[in-house]
Amino acid sequence: MTFGIVPPYLLDRIAGLGAVEFQQAAAAARRTLGRDRELRAARLTLSIRGGTLVAELSDAPDRTISDAAGTETLPGRVVRREGDAPAPDVAVNEAYDGLGATFALYSEVYGRNSIDGKGMPLDGTVHYGTDYDNAFWNGDRMVFGDGDGQVFGRFTSSMTVIGHELTHGVTQYTAGLVYRGQSGALNESISDVFGCLVEQYAEKQTEATASWLIGAGLFTKQVHGVALRSMKAPGTAYDDPRLGKDPQPADFAHYVETTDDEGGVHLNSGIPNRAFYLVAHGLGGHAWERAGRIWYDTLLSGLRPTTDFAGFAAATVAAAGKRYGGSSAEVAAVRAGWAGVGVASDGAGHAG
């Protein structure tokens, strides 16, 4: 499975734009949708390849950035390796730094050695395709488009995008959540959670000073919007006369039943996203320390691949209790966070 940061419902909207000033964006969105469908159809196997382990592994990043030079051929020409001086290309350096920031969060905070926990090299390709309106993790590497210049700018510019996509790899190697329905929305949400935490850790932001936005700065000035998604207030990231309003629900009462987008995985991820924000807000301070630790522990707790919202909520309560104690403030904050979005956390189903 290939995971892209821009949801298909937004690309569909852009592809239908008829205004002369957005012709390039519409054409780019149509090409991106076509390419994304091909990538999804490829169904790359996301599993540990062969079970082969390297004898000696250092807990340090091993980054390689390549340049596709406007083609769709991967990996492209290598332009920067681990330890090299910055390149003259800003996209190369943004990708390099974003991969490093993601490695740092997982290594320094959670003791995880790269995406697979075993020192997996971090590879990225920039300048993929022509006006390609997405960035994705394909199971082996990060791939970045440059955007169309009318709706989207370059996708390397957002650290939350890089952290989001690489976290799909972490989920791949841990919980393996099926990318459909509620488990798929959880898969997306977990990537949003740790995408935000990558940025917050790098910038040393508290939960109060962080933006809680996914993809801030991706939109050009021609779009009325600040980001692709808001974890703090799902449904408010953009409101544009051409692109429409951010359709994410913020609570389970407004869960979207649909057959599109693998059962609405990019839509309904707003529900667990806000639950995490509420937990982080209730605990205060740095979100990666306690709220993030609970979510990371939950990833390692033996979730079923088809875990739904209620099952995940119960697992986060159990993880908080195991680490901090059953009567702790952390457990209370987790329960309150899920209650705030209408999801029961006692394993008995959904509240509200």
Residues forming the active site: 165, 266
Q: Residue 34 is encoded by which pair of tokens?
A: 């076509």
Task: Give the residues across from 225 on adjacent strands.
Answer: 238
The answer to whether the CB of 180 falls within 8 A of the CB of 265 is yes
The rounded distance, in Å, linking the Cα atoms of 157 and 132 is 14
E strand segments, 91-188: 122-126, 135-137, 142-144
